[in-house]
């Protein structure tokens, strides 16, 4: 499985989100999930199985597939909660 952290432009905030997702996956003891980052204009539906982004750009991501919409890229509890829910639904946790 691959998760793509997406930001609107540039790569700084998506890289921070990627690191936060990796940390959460490690804390949850989940392995075998690849995490990368991208800007929105470079992301394509075949870039990943799951996309994660802040709500400010999420409405422009409907064409990509399954998107986890978070309030803030630095809200670890919010990211953890939403990511955990999706991983449980997919039987990965």
Question: What's the CA gap between 92 and 55, in Å, rounded?
Answer: 24
Calculate mean pLDDT across residues 68-82: 94
- Mind listing the pLDDT tens digit for each residue in 22-71? 999 999 999 999 999 999 999 999 999 999 999 988 888 889 999 999 99
Classified by CATH at the fold level, domain 2-89 comes out as Rossmann fold (3.40.50)
Question: What's the CA gap between 40 and 64, in Å, rounded?
Answer: 10
Q: What is the pLDDT of residue 58?
A: 85
Model confidence at 93: pLDDT above 80: yes
27, exposed or middle or buried, with CB in 10 Å at 0-12, 13-18, 19+?
Answer: exposed
Give the Cβ contact number of residue 50 at 10 Å.
Answer: 20
Question: Would you say 67 and 38 are in contact if contact means Cβ atoms under 8 Å apart?
Answer: no
Question: Would you say 86 and 50 are in contact if contact means Cβ atoms under 8 Å apart?
Answer: yes
């Amino acid at each position: 499985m691959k998760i793509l952290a997406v930001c609107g432009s540039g790569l700084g905030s998506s890289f921070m989100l990627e690191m936060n997702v990796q940390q959460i996956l490690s804390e949850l003891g989940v392995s075998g999930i690849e995490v990368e980052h991208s800007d929105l204009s470079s992301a394509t539906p075949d870039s990943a199985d799951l996309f994660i982004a802040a709500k400010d750009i999420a409405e422009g991501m409907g064409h990509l597939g399954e998107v986890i919409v978070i309030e803030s890229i630095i809200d670890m509890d919010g990211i953890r909660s939403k990511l955990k829910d999706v991983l449980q639904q997919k039987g990965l946790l």
